[in-house]
Chain A
Amino acid sequence: MNATVHPLRKYARPHVTRTTTCPGCGNGIATQAILRAIEELDLRMDDFVFVSGIGCSAWIPSPFFAADTLHTTHGRPVAFATGVKLGLPEKHVMVVSGDGDLTAIGGNHLIHAARRNIGLTVVLMNNGIYGMTGGQTAPTTPRGISTVTSPYGSLEHSFDIAPMIVSAGAAYVARWTTHHPRQLTKAIKKGLTKKGFALIEVVTQCPVQFGRASKLGGAVEILKHFKSNSVRIEKARKMDPAELLGKIVVGEFVDIEKPELSSEWTRLIHSMREGRQ
């Protein structure tokens, strides 16, 4: 009798047999969404370079994905990926990392990559907290929530990542929660086919740290919270800001065409070569 193998297992390194995430972590939902997007687009893992930073979600591609994988320092995956993409413009360069990595310590690289419109697909796992280091406040932690570094409740306001990256100049920005794996797969597919900087923000559950800090509970309770608080962007645009307090706006925030950096470089080098002849 042949043991059943998960259909997406073919994209994983054979010797990596188990994931390191906690029970109920949303990272695995995003892992499947990424791999399913690759499968549905009929892409090969050799078409990709995956780049990640530091944090739980940085371990989504590393070492699981059977592809060229660059696991980098905290906050810097977008900067590394910029060099990779300019060196290999024909490859899909995907960054997978968390909200702390990409918007706190690495925020500057994220907005500048969006401004440059370099062809990266960034899957940003936003769990609203620092999971790996033990539940500290992130720039995405909702105001008022008590964490180990905000024991009296966070006094700070949080980033609204997707619209921030729209303002920075990205060609494609979408946000979904882990309650929307099918929509998420579609958004990742769109990000991968977009010529330009694509950010897919994944609002995800950290049942261990965020579940405890927010008192929402475990994975299922947080997923239910995502379901009941998600508002489609088309609907949200007609709502008052007061009505949107505590809501998660999901959908496509931007989808535009503009010149992409690595192909602009290819064009420039080509035109200079022609000019010399």
Chain B
Amino acid sequence: MSKVDVLSQNCKGVDQCGICKYVCPKDLYRDSKEMNSAGYIPPEMTDEASCTACENCMIYCPDMAIVVHKDAQDGPPAGEGSDD
């Protein structure tokens, strides 16, 4: 089962936004090859096995375009300490 779903139609583009790429602690996002219908290039996940389900990308995405499916065995969120 996939850990991360990119709702690519909601995305406003990694080139102009790109917050998902920035907040991923494992640097797992890259630009996808195809534009969505609004002309934006959404991100895609490169290595889902390495994803820790920290949810950073989901929580920071301004367009609610990423859903992280958290399993019980996933640890606590990794983004908690990003405040100083």
Contacts and interface: CB of A to CB of B under 8 A. Distances in A.
Interface of A: 4-9, 18-19, 21-29, 31-32, 36, 176, 178-183, 207, 218-220, 223-224, 227, 230-232, 250
Given A22-B12, A182-B59, 7 more contacts: A4-B7, A21-B62, A176-B83, A180-B82, A207-B16, A219-B16, A219-B18
Contacts of A28: 61-64
B80 interface: yes
B3 to A, nearest CB: 11
Contacts of B80: 182
A224 B60 CA distance: 13
A219 B19 contact: yes
Interface in B1-54: 5, 7, 10, 12-13, 16-19, 21-22, 40
A24 B19 contact: yes
A232 B17 contact: no
B67 A26 contact: no
A176 B84 CA distance: 11
A180 B10 contact: no
Contacts of B18: 24, 218-220
Nearest to B15: A23
Interface of B: 5, 7, 10, 12-13, 16-19, 21-22, 40, 59-65, 67, 77, 79-80, 82-84
Contact of B16 (A23, A223, A232): A23
Contacts of A19: 62-63
B67 A6 contact: yes
A50 B83 CA distance: 28
A6 B82 contact: no
Nearest to B21: A220
Nearest to A231: B84
A23 B5 contact: no
B60 A23 contact: no
A20 to B, nearest CB: 11
A27 B5 CA distance: 22
Contacts of B83: 176, 179-180, 183, 230, 232, 250
A27 B16 contact: no
19 contacts: A18-B10, A19-B63, A21-B63, A22-B16, A24-B16, A25-B62, A26-B62, A28-B62, A31-B64, A32-B59, A179-B82, A180-B82, A180-B83, A182-B77, A182-B79, A207-B17, A219-B62, A220-B18, A231-B84
